Amino acid sequence: MDPTPRDRQRFAERGRHGILTGLLMGGLLGAVIGGVIGAIGFHAGSTAMWAAALGGCIFGAGVVAFAGGLSRLDSPPPGREPAEPGDPLRRPGLTRDEQGPESGASP
């Protein structure tokens, strides 16, 4: 089954959202961690401390943006799948395993 343009658009939106969230959260978290490590390793407020904070910001943004992009490759939450026609679990009736062999279901 080929994805429709709407499915492709939703996939791209999920990817962008994961990457942008990763950039923002990773940059902020990396700057804080880099600043703390810089303050411990160097004199607080020195140029070296700010360089460590900047390095942490860049590293954190890159790593978490990558992870955020990868996390959005996974399937969306149940019930929000683009290729799923309705909710099969809410249909009344038995599952194939409960119907038995006379219904044509595989054992």
Domain annotation covers residue 60? yes
| DSSP structural state of residue 100 | -
H-assigned helices in the chain: 5-41, 47-71, 96-99
Domain annotation covers residue 48? yes
CA 89/CA 25 separation, integer angstroms? 36
Range of the domain at 41: 26-74
Residue 92 has pLDDT above 80, yes or no: no
Domain annotation covers residue 19? no
Q: Are 76 and 13 in contact (CB under 8 A)?
A: no
Domain annotation covers residue 50? yes
Domain annotation covers residue 89? no
pLDDT at 64: 94
CA 105/CA 71 separation, integer angstroms? 35
pLDDT at 5: 81
Domain annotation covers residue 64? yes
Question: What is the total count of domains within the chain?
Answer: 1
Least reliable range by pLDDT among 3-12, 47-56, 59-68: 3-12
Domain annotation covers residue 18? no
The token pair at 48 is 């070296």
Residue 3 has pLDDT above 60, yes or no: yes
- The more confidently predicted of residues 84 and 74 is 74
Residue 13 has pLDDT above 60, yes or no: yes
Reported as a single tens digit per residue, the pLDDT across 30-45 is 999 999 999 999 988 8
**Percent of the chain whose predicted confidence (pLDDT) is above 90:** 43
